[in-house]
Amino acid sequence: MEVYYKSTRGNGETVTASQAILQGLSPDGGLFVPTQIPQLKKSLKELSKLSYQELAYEVMSSFLTDFTPEELKSCIEKAYDSKFDTEEIAPLAEKGGAYYLELFHGATIAFKDMALSILPHLMTVSAKKNQEEREIVILTATSGDTGKAAMAGFADVSGTRIIVFYPKHGVSPIQEKQMVTQKGANTYVVGITGNFDDAQTAVKKMFHDPELNQELAQSGFMFSSANSINIGRLVPQIVYYVYAYATLLREGKIQEGEKINAVVPTGNFGNILAAYYGKQMGLPLDKLICASNDNKVLYDFFSTGVYDKNREFILTSSPSMDILISSNLERLIYRIAGEDSAKCRELMEALSAQGKYEVTDSMRVQLEDFYGNYATEEETAQTIARVFKETGYMMDPHTAVAATVYEKYKEQTGDEKTAVIASTASPYKFTRSVMCALDAKYDAMSDFELVDELNRLTKVAVPKAIDEIRTAPVLHDRVVEAADMPGAVKDILGIQ
């Protein structure tokens, strides 16, 4: 079965998977979605016997149908190798009545590695398939993790350059140090004096600026994206939900076909949308529990049917979720609108013009797969401390937001079925937040003293990604206003 891709705001025109990956965003401003969601081709029992790499092929080959088996298997082999510090790639840790799906065992110790380890390989294959000879400029806004993971993936990949914009005062010190020390002749990092939404909005504008794109083309460049707006980021994320279910089945924790819940800390909506797509493929997921921090725009949406970004932007200890415009929600909106691109376009234009939109009653009914709630900063810190005290398991603030919301969900619903919590980053990435959750005295220590103290307390080895940046020199120190981002891109690419 061939799967093609169309825009959430288009007129039904389709492109191949490789074309969608190469373009990143549709020229009309919409996001690419599959013309149909393929079903799992093997039984759950058969899937439970596969390695992560074999399972990745099973899932991804159903979506990326213009890739040959050899091409896709080669991409998978290059992505999921010794860069990960565990053979399972995404192990499950059973703690305190839930299963934590650890998605942080890759090169940059965050879940973005799961997809960004493979995206550069998918993209270079896509370029060859479509005889694209221009140099691909990956333009990315990051709220902390995507930027480093994307740069690690694309560093020194021939035919590509990557430019990452991040909010200068909106990421953790470790996240920033990881980015500004990134090596690679084709990598560029730019801080902006604004928040993530400012960076993401400016990046989207550049994608759709005809004059800028023409200047790029004349100089032999084309834009593409490594954000989860790129379908090549989203498809690999479906894999680990299938793998989590397969692992539980293989280990006898659940019966074949038994439904489980998935709990996902959510900012840009890509990670939970991948779980939703997994459910559409036939994976027995029941509730998709969407966990927000104090920037609870998604909680309010699921509660009221109104998406409203007109509110204070709050900097929290879980910065990858400090987002008021959840780009991937557009893919869900398109689906619950009956794949009516005119309706989807109307709502997205309202978001752009008034900063809000409201879905219809018939669309709201189709959101019943989801449950939304949020965790305050205080609750997040309490969860980190409580779980560590009870189990000795240390989690990062994003995972703690999810764990907090899961407890609220159980309290409200009494639903005790098996749950998988997406654990999206290593606690070593947020040492100050996690250590201060245990005791305020730790705030007096430096970031790397905190790393050593965390190691002493947990006996969990310090990841290579952290050791590498202790003494690494700062290689990127450019900072611009959000309005000056296009100028920075042209300067980096040497376009006059």
Neighbours of 231 (CB within 10 A): 23
SS3 98: strand
Distance from C-alpha of 264 to C-alpha of 262, rounded to nearest angstrom: 6
> DSSP letters of 205-229?
HHHT-HHHHHHHHHTTEEEE--STT
Query: What are the start-end ranges of the H helices in 251-395?
Result: 270-280, 297-304, 329-336, 341-354, 361-365, 377-391
Own/partner long-range contacts of 461-470 (Cβ < 8 Å, ≥24 apart):
462/428, 463/85, 463/109, 463/426, 463/428, 464/85, 465/107, 465/108, 465/109, 465/178, 465/428, 466/109, 466/174, 466/428, 466/429, 468/181, 469/174, 469/177, 469/178, 469/181
Burial (CB < 10 A; 0-12, 13-18, 19+), residue 342, is exposed
Beta-carbon neighbour count of residue 300 at 10 Å? 16
**Residue 312: count of CB within 10 angstroms of its CB:** 7
> So which residues are the catalytic ones?
112
